Structure 1
Amino acid sequence: MFAAAIDRFGGPEAITGHALPVPPLDADEVMIAVDTAGVGSWDADVREGYYAPRNPHFPLVLGYDGSGIVAAVGSRVRRLKVGDEVYSYNWENPKGGFYAEYVAVPADKVAPIPKRLDLRHAGAIPITGLTALQGIDDALKLKKGETIIIHAASGGVGTLAVQFARLRGARVLATASGLEGVELVQELGAHMTIDGKRADIDDQARRFAPDGVDAILALAGGDALEKCMNVLRPGGRLAHPNGIEPAPKKRRGLELIRYDGISGVREFERLNAAVQAAKLKVVIAECYSLAHAYKAHERLAEGHVVGKIVLSIHAS
């Protein structure tokens, strides 16, 4: 099979095309003929050597989520069958990741794609969708009528979190990157949007919530987040996925929740239900061919990505 893999840690240029054997299939695994692979900052971190196993096995196929069609199932798998359209998030990929024509994944990390979405859009959201929904529902336990700031809302997680927060009946203030990002999150349902580069971000937020906001979902760190935190009411809560840099610091009277998006049968069932109920719009920033995976990483490094970057495995 054709795959985009690295033979060493390094920059985007370290990603090159490889002819590799199709991974072997264990009894509790599913073989997916990959259609779309997600591209995220975590892929770049692994490429550069962060999160790397102590003795990495090269060539290392990147990619932790995507979609495709079930090509084979292990002898113990009953929930899925050959021909099913599925999507998957699997952080531990000892047999290689989704930047390939085939990937072998534990069956409990795989689910039928949501009815509303095609393979391309479903392939863009396993990590971002689970991270967004678990931030809103599990970390923050957001309730109807509460106010929330979604900080850095124009990226892959944020564009989905805005829609899930609206689904739960919250009033949403979104900070976004540039005019394009601000307009996008407004279209996705944010009640108020602010360019995250504005110096008066906290003053603007106080106009939205004079008594302070109940919650913040932080998808980026730094000075702008610190200003958002000034608007959090006493006893308010802030959640952020692990990996946000610089990580927000604990403050008096603030509940700080760090979490990881996790995948499993129940988690995907909840995501599918939320995708349906929210009539979810999935924003794809750019789509690259598998052979141009390095270009996707170059684009990632430029920053200011509005939505999610993906790879189309069969595009020329």
Structure 2
Amino acid sequence: MSESILKVNNLVVGFSMYQPRSFHKTTLQVIHSLSLEVNKGEILAVVGSSGSGKSILAHAVLNLLPKNAVVGGEVLYKGQTITKKREKELFGREIAFIPQSIDYLDPVMKVGKQVEGVFGTSKRKEELFNQYKLPIDTSNKYPFQLSGGMARRILICGALMGNPELIIADEPTPGLSLDIAMETLQHFRTFADNGTGVLMITHDIDLALNVADKVAVFYAGSIIEIAPTQDFIKGKDALRHPYSKALIDALPQNEFVPILGTQPYAGDLPSGCLFAKRCKYRNENCVGRQEERELRGGKVRCINAV
């Protein structure tokens, strides 16, 4: 059996905030009862539309959420809860993070020092710069002197400075040329083949399918399907959830076929299936809570899925 390296059980994330024109505080829940697992040597791609909560998942795992966040559930690394003490031992060493925004770079520090960090070496930095086609004199530049693509490659180099056993990559390819984006994903594949677990958050399904082992589909703060990558490659008939099928139809090679409606707002979620209002298969069974269940080698939250 595969060995789990990251396990998220029933994760709930909300944000405590004041209601408009009121002194009354409320909690806006944006992630609901989310569970997933990343095994050693496996790439799990998390896909879904903007605003579905994908980045919040990464920040929750890494305890990077703001102070008004209200978090429930459990996050395990190698079978043990990630405590405050373990964060200092793991983050930046065994657990690497590639953030979505280049604003994570310190604007007043040369990028070479940022890549090396506390644990790195000049030799390893030079190896990574060579891999990601960064001139060696890039070390002496500040973030504002770099293009967006170069800055993103600097973030990747910093994350891979050590030999991480878990990589959490939040949209690692925007701003990169197709060649470098594919090369970056192939590096993730190489890490995974050598035993590293990779949680890759992306909106680019086509790129993810080149390297991922499994795909988790996000919708309105919940994972509605987890399936082997081969099911996505085979086409929508191999998938389980109507939204997953709609994502396949919306790809460029399928002529961007749209569906009506929009993803529900976190403060006004339906009581039953989150996708029901947009689903052509909805019926009276969709009003109840949709529990995750195993189906045809994957997992799905849809009572009508077959």
* TM-score (structure 2 length as normaliser): 0.31
* TM-score (structure 1 length as normaliser): 0.30
